[in-house]
Structure formats: C-alpha cells, structure tokens
Amino acid sequence: MIEAVLFDIDGTLLVTGGAGAVAWQRAFKELHGVEANIEEHTHAGMTDPEIAEIVFREVIGRDGSDAERAEAISGYLSHLSDAVAESPGYRVMPGIEELLPRLAEQSVLLGLVTGNIEPAARIKLARADLNRFFAFGGYGSDSRDRTALTKRAVERAEQVHGGSFGEGGCIAVGDTPRDVAAGHGAGIKVVGVATGSYPVDQLRNAGADFALETVGKDFPA
C-alpha cells in the first residue's frame, strides 16, 4: 500500500513558463551587470544551489564565493514572485488537479522533493493554490545533492507518518532521470512522468519503476 507520495515541482506538478529563468536573469543583471540565460547553462533537475554555482562559473567566469552565491539566491527570490505572476506560460500539468485531492481523500501523505529552495518552491506552487496539499518536503535548501534532499524528504515523511514505511510505502514522482536516480538512491520507487523534457522511453530506460505520459488513470496509487 502506498502511504506517501513525494512530488517534484518543475515539469511534474507545473511549469512556470520560464519564470525561474527570468528571476535568475534579473538577479544577476542587478547584482553583477551580466545577462545570465540559465537555460543555456543548466539542465532539468538541477538544484538552485547548483544553478547559482554554474552561472557564476560559466557566465561570470569565476567561482563565486559562498556569500556571493547566497546573495544571488536572495536576489533570485526577490524577483521570483513577480516573474511567476507575470508568466503567460504558467500552467499545472495534466491530471495533477484531479490526482492531489484524490490522494488526500485516501489519507495518502503528500510531500515535495525538489531542487528548488523551499521559499522558491512555495512561490511557484502559490499561483495554482497547491501549497495546501504539501506539509513537508526535501528541498534544494536542504542539500545541493538531489539524492540527499530526497532522503531528507523521506525522513520528514516518516516523522509525519509516525514511523518507517514498508517496501513501496513511499514513492516519488518526477519528470527527469535525475529524479529517478535520486529516488532510487533514497531507497524508494519512482514514477516517471513524461510531462517535462523526457519521453516515457527515456524515463523507463533511466530505471523508473513506472513510466507514464501523465499522472492519469494509470497512476499506481
């Protein structure tokens, strides 16, 4: 029996229509006077701390200090709410608005497992009123490593649950091979959904336990 489901955000629950990239671009322009198109330098599934590090190295041409990267992330957050609100391409992925209430009604615990730092995750979910479904999660603010933050999400799920899960009791849902690898690294099964940049075949080849076009009627819970 599945008792907890951990959802990735970008490409799985929703897409912001490039709002994150806009916010990063505005932050680096404001702080360093450079045009930073993160989509040219990053890949789906990266954590926010990884993104800040890569932009410094590949756009500015040096490794930013810890303080500089923290300042860049703060700048990103300061612009993210407006970027999300303004984005004409923001949308919730197919099936999500039906699936989340159904799982909640079945008393399945719902959590997040995302490379976004927690405040960014909450900003992205707020426009679609999805924060109400998620009481806990693992975030890019917990670790820059996706497997480590997934383990943190599982730990928090166990705290809410009141103990460990049986085999298959906690699963993750994501749209990239990174999500699949992280879930398996954390010892849980993964549903790969082809609502992001990767088709079903690639998710299946990456080792997803279930590979679906969308979280529709074939979702395993």
Domain containing 194 — which CATH number?
3.40.50.1000
Q: Are residues 128 and 174 in the same domain?
A: yes
Q: Are residues 117 and 34 in the same domain?
A: no
**pLDDT at residue 62, as a whole number:** 87
Residue found under tokens 């009123």: 129
**pLDDT at residue 41, as a whole number:** 67
Please give the average per-residue pLDDT across 35-50, as a whole number.
78
Asked, for residue 217, whether it belongs to a domain, the answer is no
Q: What are phi and psi of 180, to 5 degrees?
A: -65, -50
Q: Is the pLDDT of residue 47 over 70?
A: yes
Terminal CA-to-CA distance of the chain, rounded, Å? 8
Q: Are residues 95 and 152 in the same domain?
A: yes
Q: Are residues 175 and 80 in the same domain?
A: no
| Residue at which a domain ends, from 37, 57, 86 | 86
Q: Is the pLDDT of residue 42 over 80?
A: no
- In which element (H, E) is residue 76 found? helix 66-86
**pLDDT at residue 33, as a whole number:** 87
**pLDDT at residue 106, as a whole number:** 96
Q: Is the pLDDT of residue 88 over 90?
A: yes
Asked, for residue 115, whether it belongs to a domain, the answer is yes
Q: Are residues 44 and 97 in the same domain?
A: no
Asked whether 161 and 143 are in contact (CB, 8 A), the reply is no
Indicate the number of domains in the chain: 2
**pLDDT at residue 36, as a whole number:** 78
Domain that holds residue 194: 4-16+90-212
**pLDDT at residue 57, as a whole number:** 85
- pTM (predicted TM-score): 0.93
**pLDDT at residue 64, as a whole number:** 84
Q: Are residues 32 and 60 in the same domain?
A: yes
Q: Are residues 95 and 35 in the same domain?
A: no
Selected residue with higher pLDDT from 56 and 42:
56
| Residue at which a domain ends, from 86, 106, 127 | 86
What confidence tens digit (pLDDT) does each residue in 55-77 have?
A: 888 888 888 898 999 999 999 99
The per-residue pLDDT of the chain, averaged, comes to 94
| Residue at which a domain ends, from 56, 86, 116 | 86
Please report, for the domain that includes residue 50, its CATH number: 1.10.150
Asked whether 134 and 125 are in contact (CB, 8 A), the reply is yes
